[in-house]
Amino acid sequence: METPDARSLSDSFREWPQGWHVSVVEETGSTNADLLVAAAQGAPDRTVLVARHQTAGRGRLDRKWEAPAGSNLLVSLLFRVVPDDPHVLTQRVGLAAIAACEAVAGGRPTLKWPNDLLLGGRKLAGILAQAELGPAPVVVVGIGVNVGWAPEGGGLLGDGVDPLDLLAALLTAYDALPDDVWAAYRANLGTIGQRVRVDLPDGEVVGRALDVEPDGRLVVVDDCGVTHRFAVGDVVHLR
């Protein structure tokens, strides 16, 4: 019988799109944390680490990312070619993930600001970007996509999809993106036009999301007509 390690090794060597250095492991703490360590040790641009299980999967702001072993796509991508606006890399991964979900499972998710993927209004995927911006900048973009399992209220691609097929489609879609993804990001951002609540460390703002600016900030006009621009924050789409 094939052992889990042998299975991971053969998956690492399956035919991945050219130019990506993909490793598959059975279990780790967090693929993002691992790639930040690998980056410090000289891992090349476009190193990709996939885990079938994370024991310490991370969300933003030290929140947790949950997924039972083997059910979902849990992957991080390391970039050494970093644009002036590093958040563009996160947008690119989000757009590639949308295209991959559509190609592999049929449904087309939308983006919720800043970078969640929603399917049928439910959170299908989350993205965590971490950067070391110095003379040799590195950005690690991690994404978890619910393929076979989602928490209560979460979105799900559905059984019958292999998380590694979804990854192959994501890398292919990434390569097919135009150099400038601004228009595509804006067009796929389902938050625009929605009534939203923006949760901030010191309170909340309720209003309508009007637009997103080229630097990634979300423009919200509150119920008193005051315009706010948010660089960070958690957004809830209100009914």
- 32 or 91: CB nearest ligand BT5: 32
54 is an interface residue for ligand BT5 by CB under 6 A: yes
- 165 or 221: CB nearest ligand BT5: 165
Q: Which of 100, 150, 171, 218 binds ligand BT5 (CB under 6 A)?
A: 150
Residue number of the CB closest to ligand BT5 reads: 126
Q: Which of 48, 143, 212, 220 binds ligand BT5 (CB under 6 A)?
A: 143
Question: 137: helix, coil or strand?
Answer: coil
- Residue 38 is encoded by which pair of tokens? 């690998």
In DSSP terms, which residues pair with 28 in a beta bridge?
Answer: 54
Task: With contacts defined by CB under 6 A, name the span among 9-17, 28-36, 80-88, 101-109 that binds ligand BT5.
Answer: 28-36
Question: 174: helix, coil or strand?
Answer: helix
Alpha-carbon radius of gyration of the chain: 18
CB of 102 to ligand BT5, least distance (A): 19
> What one-character-per-residue DSSP string does 24-73 give?
EEEEES-HHHHHHHHHHTTPPTTEEEEEEEESS-B-GGG-B----TTTSE
- 55 or 227: CB nearest ligand BT5: 55
DSSP state, residue 212: E
128 is an interface residue for ligand BT5 by CB under 6 A: yes
Give the pairing type, strands 234-237 and 227-230. unpaired
63 is an interface residue for ligand BT5 by CB under 6 A: yes
For residues 3 and 21, give the distance between their C-alpha atoms in angstroms, rounded to a whole number: 23
- 4 or 59: CB nearest ligand BT5: 59
For residues 25 and 173, give the distance between their C-alpha atoms in angstroms, rounded to a whole number: 23
137 is an interface residue for ligand BT5 by CB under 6 A: no
| Site residues, ligand BT5 (CB under 6 A) | 30-32, 54, 57-61, 63-67, 74-76, 116, 123, 126-128, 142-144, 146, 150-151, 154
